[in-house]
Structure 1
Amino acid sequence: MKTVLTFIFIIFIGSAAMAQNASKEVKVETVTYGVELNIKVEKTSAKENKVTRLYLFKNSRVKKELNFKTKRNNAKMA
């Protein structure tokens, strides 16, 4: 008896759900705009000769400065 009532209840709920008036999709109007690109390219042909130094090691100056020794760096016997 319980299964029959459950089956009838499910059919009733399903038919009630199908009887609802579903709202139709609202269509949105699209607007398109044209895009204009105004780009001016100016070429400068000035030649600059700069001299740069090329070091063998990347951080040679930094490592040299950090590798200093003071008088108190020496180990002492107690």
Structure 2
Amino acid sequence: MKTILTLIFVLFIGVAAQAQNDAAEVKVETISMSIVSVTAKQEVVLKKDKAVARLYMFKNSKITKELTFSTKLNKAKLA
């Protein structure tokens, strides 16, 4: 009985909400703008600098240690 009354109440609220009179539609003034096509080419300059990247071969290097850090939240908790 309670579910039937709840269903009727929800349907009544939904119908009442849809029966509201909306305000008159407001017309919006449109602005027309022309499309301008501009094609600008940018020249790409290639650099001929030779940069050297370091390769760390040892596990104990500073960078690999700092990149593989772990926080306290990563550790498993014992129950």
TM norm. shorter chain > 0.5: no
Higher relative contact order (CA 8 A, sep 6+): 2
Q: Give TM-score, length-normalised by structure 1.
A: 0.35
Structure ID, larger Rg: 1
Q: Give TM-score, length-normalised by structure 2.
A: 0.34
